[in-house]
Amino acid sequence: MLFDRAEILETLRMLELENLDVRTVTVGINILDCRGESFPTTIERVLAKIRRITTPLEEVTEEIAGKYGIPIVNRRVALSPVALLLTGKEGERVVELAHQLDQLAQELSIDFIGGFSALVHKGFAPGDHLLVDSLPLVLSQTERICGSVNAASSRAGINVDAILRMGGVIRETAEKTASRDGIGCAKLVVFANAPEDNPFMAGAFHGPGEADCAVNVGVSGPGVVKEMISRHPHASLGELAEIIKRVAFKITRVGELIGREVAQKMGIPFGIVDLSLAPTPQVGDSVAEVIEAMGVERCGGWGSTLALALLTDACKKGGAMASSFVGGLSGAFIPVSEDAGMSEAVRLGALRLEKLEAMTSVSSVGLDMIAIPGDTPEEMISAIIGDEIAIGVVNHKTVGVRLIPVPGKRAGEKAYFGGLLGECTIIEVNPFGGGKFIRRGGRIPAPITSLRN
Amino acid sequence: MGEKRLPDFPEETTSTTNKVVITVVGKDRIGIIAAITSCLAQCRVNIEDITQKILGEYFTMILVGDTSQASVDLTELRRRLNHVGEEIGVTVYLQHAQIFQAMHRI
């Protein structure tokens, strides 16, 4: 036989029982060639280009999912950062663009369109000002549009003015979606070192260095990793690293196979596979449960950072062997509301905001999908973002912050976002703020790369 | 003494282009193989390899089929196999062989 029984049954078990799936097929599209003489013309061209490229997406992904018996959970589109299209004089028409994109997404069965983004790590151009100002309206009035702001990079330093402003944008977006626990903020990420080929939302955009279009793929698989670890309760941590590496290889190969085939069928280039382990609110599909399967009593307890470091590194090693083109965020996601185990750990008080921050220094994303009290002052939100961004900039890694102040609710109460966004207990925020510090504003210079600490 | 010739063994092809893997699991009973294979014959899928095992009362069968002459596409083949599976009380999975190639071969 071409494959032995054990191999075939292992694959089936991963797919049927352990929630292995392709989390997202994301088509990146450059829209910078869509500028027209007037903004309405630009909007028309943007819509036409997206329509032209993504019309076959639904049919192709369904066909391929059927062929291999693997679910493809999300179909998404990532656009060039929309701020690059703007002169700053478009006014309310930017919101109109978002509405039209939202409708188009619905029509073409695209789950999310990312790219309402601005790259302001060194400063704001007029288009960036307009985009950032429009975010609260865009995120509260549309369902499927995601935005992001890159506020820092290891080469350019940290734009504290941008961070300061994003605290306000986040508060305003939450208040505009107060009836849904501030869900607008679930579609907004503040980045340091944002990747240009990230297929995952809310932070996906099609970077200026990318080709005209590309297919990028994100796989899932915390359930598979957890089951494999559970089967080896007495393995040493060195052995565990090897076991995780092997699983990561298999998971990534699935992503690569699907990505290449989708790209070929759609007639556009294949970009990258993102190796990230992406959890869902479903029990058994959780990164927290992976950490607990390794032996940490509760995610957030002592040992969690070490366990996450081992997990992330082993995933990268296995994944890098499996695919020639790895990109995006590529690590283990630890989004609180989207991961049933993380959410439970917060409820129990095992996982605190400070520990989450520590864990992000060894994983890939950042402070992700964390519900905070609705009355957290905007400067305090900015200071939290600043702390997280410092970790990214100094360590030359990507970090993103997706905080959700839940209007009218306090720490310990529950926030509900629904679907893949999940639900979670609102986390306690250290009341000693850094407002005066962050209000100084300005830019923090890029860190030195020699004299490493 | 002339050189001794080894008998010709046909070389096993490792190409997975038109190969599908069909896995059948369920409670053992008479007629599972018959039902599945006759469905494959009707769809003109050639069976290249077949292995089965009974553990307690559970039955698993794995079949490798060649679909290069198939009269239906994979979606239709899956629909028909699922239908047969429902009738005899087993679960049938159909997957293109390339996914196993990708996961288990370097």
Tokens of A272: 């990258």
Are B94 and A254 in contact (CB < 8 Å)?
A: no
Tell me how close the Cα of B11 comes to any Cα of chain A, in angstroms: 13
pTM: 0.92
Residue A452 has pLDDT above 90, yes or no: no
Angle at which helices A353-360 and A304-322 pack, to 10 degrees?
30
Average pLDDT over residues B42-47: 95
**Could you tell me which chain A residue has the CA closest to the CA of B25?**
A9
Which pLDDT does position A109 carry in this prediction?
Answer: 95
Are B96 and A8 in contact (CB < 8 Å)?
A: no
Q: Kindly list the residues from chain A whose CB atom is less than 8 angstroms away from the CB atom of residue B101.
A: 2-3
Q: Kindly list the residues from chain B whose CB atom is less than 8 angstroms away from the CB atom of residue A250.
A: 103-104
Which pLDDT does position A22 carry in this prediction?
Answer: 93
Q: What is the dihedral of CA A152, A156, A160, A162, to 10 degrees?
A: -60
Distance (Å, whole) CA A97 – CA A102: 9
> Which residue among A12, A67, A256 sits closest to B23, beta carbon to beta carbon?
A12
Q: Which residue has the tokens 């089967």?
A: A231
Are B102 and A257 in contact (CB < 8 Å)?
A: yes
Phi/psi of residue A420, nearest 5 degrees: -65, -20
Residue B13 has pLDDT above 70, yes or no: no
Distance (Å, whole) CA B78 – CA B57: 25
N-to-C CA span, chain A: 54
Confidence of residue B8 (pLDDT cuts 50, 70, 90): confident
The answer for A182, left when phi > 0, alpha when psi is -120 to 50, beta otherwise, is left
Confidence of residue B14 (pLDDT cuts 50, 70, 90): low
Q: Mutate which of A2, A67, A70, A224 to test chain B, going by most B C-beta atoms within 10 A?
A: A2
> Each residue of B77-100: pLDDT tens digit?
999 999 999 999 999 999 999 999
Tokens of A195: 């990747």
Are A8 and B100 in contact (CB < 8 Å)?
A: yes
Are A8 and B62 in contact (CB < 8 Å)?
A: yes
Q: Count other C-beta atoms under 10 Å from residue A357's C-beta.
A: 18
Which pLDDT does position B57 carry in this prediction?
Answer: 83
Confidence of residue A221 (pLDDT cuts 50, 70, 90): confident
Confidence of residue B23 (pLDDT cuts 50, 70, 90): very high
Q: What is the ipTM of this complex?
A: 0.84
Are A9 and B16 in contact (CB < 8 Å)?
A: no
CA atoms within 13 A on the CB side of B73: 5
Which pLDDT does position A49 carry in this prediction?
Answer: 98
Distance (Å, whole) CA A78 – CA A83: 14
Q: Kindly list the residues from chain A whose CB atom is less than 8 angstroms away from the CB atom of residue B21.
A: 3, 8
> Each residue of A119-138: pLDDT tens digit?
999 999 999 999 999 999 99
Say which CATH class B26-104 falls into.
Answer: alpha beta
Average pLDDT over residues A348-357: 97
Which pLDDT does position A245 carry in this prediction?
Answer: 95
Confidence of residue A449 (pLDDT cuts 50, 70, 90): confident
Cα dist from A307 to A205, A245, A247, A287, whole Å: 30, 14, 16, 11
Q: Kindly list the residues from chain B whose CB atom is less than 8 angstroms away from the CB atom of residue A63.
A: 75
> Which residue among A2, A5, A66 sits closest to B74, beta carbon to beta carbon?
A66
CA atoms within 13 A on the CB side of A92: 1
Query: Structural domains in chain A?
Result: 1-436 (3.20.70.20)
Distance (Å, whole) CA B29 – CA A318: 42
Distance (Å, whole) CA A190 – CA A203: 8
Residue B1 has pLDDT above 60, yes or no: no
Average pLDDT over chain A, rounded to an integer? 95
Cα dist from B44 to A106, B19, B69, whole Å: 40, 13, 6
Q: Kindly list the residues from chain A whose CB atom is less than 8 angstroms away from the CB atom of residue B51.
A: 1, 5
Residue A29 has pLDDT above 60, yes or no: yes
Are A9 and B104 in contact (CB < 8 Å)?
A: no
Q: What is the count of residue pairs from A and B with beta carbons less than 8 Å apart? A: 66
Cα dist from B6 to A132, A428, B2, B9, B11, whole Å: 76, 77, 12, 9, 13
Residue B2 has pLDDT above 70, yes or no: no
Residue A70 contacts residue A258 (beta carbons within 8 Å): yes
Residue A419 has pLDDT above 90, yes or no: no
Are B19 and A2 in contact (CB < 8 Å)?
A: yes
| Contacting residues for A274 by C-beta, under 8 A, at least 6 apart | A198, A199, A200, A216, A217, A218, A219, A255, A326, A327, A328, A329, A330
Confidence of residue A450 (pLDDT cuts 50, 70, 90): confident
Tokens of B20: 């599908």
Which pLDDT does position A274 carry in this prediction?
Answer: 92
* CB interface of A with B, residues 206-265, below 8 Å: 250, 253-254, 256-257
Are A8 and B16 in contact (CB < 8 Å)?
A: no
Are A8 and B23 in contact (CB < 8 Å)?
A: yes
* CB interface of A with B, residues 49-68, below 8 Å: 63, 66-68
Confidence of residue A413 (pLDDT cuts 50, 70, 90): very high
Confidence of residue A284 (pLDDT cuts 50, 70, 90): confident
Tell me how close the Cα of A279 comes to any Cα of chain B, in angstroms: 21
CB of A8 less than 8 A from some CB of B: yes
Counting residues of chain A whose pLDDT is more than 90, the rounded percentage is: 89
Which pLDDT does position B12 carry in this prediction?
Answer: 63
